Chains A and B, each alone.
Chain A
């Protein structure tokens, strides 16, 4: 089982739609979580960190459920420019260890 698992999609939605991505992680010691965005043939870019209490940044809301080892990203009022691959990321929880990336969920927003 991979340490971070995501539904690869693709998710095809119209502009204005609300879309939710889910992610699970297997290492219960993981402490820090992030969502990154990667456009085609570009580098991953940090979208937002994920906090236990949940956090919102404009149209984006991230949630963390430690009991279920589950992370989610909700995008409201989708824009064409939201089309990208969204990477769920967990830190293994030990000093000196790496961030573990999921394989990504592809979103395509159409007009």
Chain B
């Protein structure tokens, strides 16, 4: 069984479009995260939710809007996509507020044409 699953795995779209990425975890964790890994492979935190409450928002443009309908799901909606948004987006989950190991989904590869 997949512990942290994200869809879609690949997303190719045009500049200016709006797209969503979905994430679900079946580990029973209470905290979920979105990370961005750019072409230089640097993995950077974007958002974190604990029990549906936003606890981390790392100066990400407001075109990015996370939503957590329940503690097992964290979705990411991106408006007006730009070339610089091309990256791999990883969802992760952990138990507790950040100082526990995190389990990652296998990533969504976003390419902006």
Residues in A lying within 8 Å of B, measured CB to CB: 31-32, 34, 42-46, 49, 85, 87, 91-93, 95-101, 103-104
Contact = CB atoms under 8 A, between A and B. Distances in A.
Contacts, number: 55
B19 interface: no
B99 A91 contact: yes
Interface size classification for chain B: 20 to 34
Main secondary structure of the interface of B (DSSP, over half): loop
**8 closest residue pairs by CB, A with B:** A43-B104, A98-B45, A101-B43, A32-B99, A91-B99, A96-B55, A46-B101, A96-B97
B33 A104 contact: no
A96 B42 contact: no
A49 B101 contact: yes
A92 B103 CA distance: 18
Contact of B99 (A31, A44, A85, A104): A31
A101 B106 CA distance: 17
